[in-house]
Amino acid sequence: MMERSPMTPEGKAALEKEVRHYLEVQRPQIVQEIEEARAHGDLSENAEYDGAKEKQALGEARLRLLQSRLSAAEVIDVKRLAVSDRVVFGTTVELMDADTEEEMTWRIVGLDEADARLGTISFSSPIGRALLGRNVGDLVAVTTPKGSRELEILQVHYELPR
């Protein structure tokens, strides 16, 4: 049995968009590149052909990975959950570092969606794991690659961040 992989509706849509782009745009381009390289003659010493075939192999591997992730997707729409002060998958959490009083905001998302630059972290990251199931007002001890931190949960939002 395949293990389910939680993701937000937006995360699933992004993966589907990437699959469509590969199938509709990239794959036809790669096929064209292969055909053009074949037209140059001898394939044994044809760097363009080798490059196009390698590009094709990498693209097809990525496509299989994306399709596998989509087939295992368990879409969790935070907007459909009962609102509470509890941190769950898909919520946006406002935190304060207890030592530095630095405030931060993270949205807890699936593995394929996490991007710290965009304010999203994976549910399986150290901070994500520590926050899940906790409530507003809780102090949460987190061990990260940068060391131990104590974070206070200030607010939990069940809607998408702005």
* pLDDT tens-digit map of 53-78: 999 999 999 999 999 999 999 999 98
Question: Is residue 42 scored above 60 in pLDDT?
Answer: yes
Question: Is residue 162 scored above 70 in pLDDT?
Answer: no
Label residue 160 by pLDDT band (50, 70, 90). low
Buried b / exposed e along 34-66 (16+ C-beta atoms within 10 A) = beebeeeeeeeeeeebeebbeebeebeeebeeb
Is 5-75 a domain of CATH 1.10.287.180?
yes
- Kindly state the tokens that stand for 47: 């760097």
Instruction: Give the mean pLDDT of 129-135.
Output: 96
Residue 25's pLDDT is 96
Residues 78-91 have pLDDT tens digits of: 888 888 899 999 99
- Give 135's DSSP letter: B
Nearest of 26, 46, 24 to residue 36 by alpha carbon: 46
| 3 state DSSP class of 145 | coil
How do the domains of the chain map onto residue ranges? 5-75, 78-157
CATH topology assigned to domain 78-157: Chitinase A; domain 3 (3.10.50)
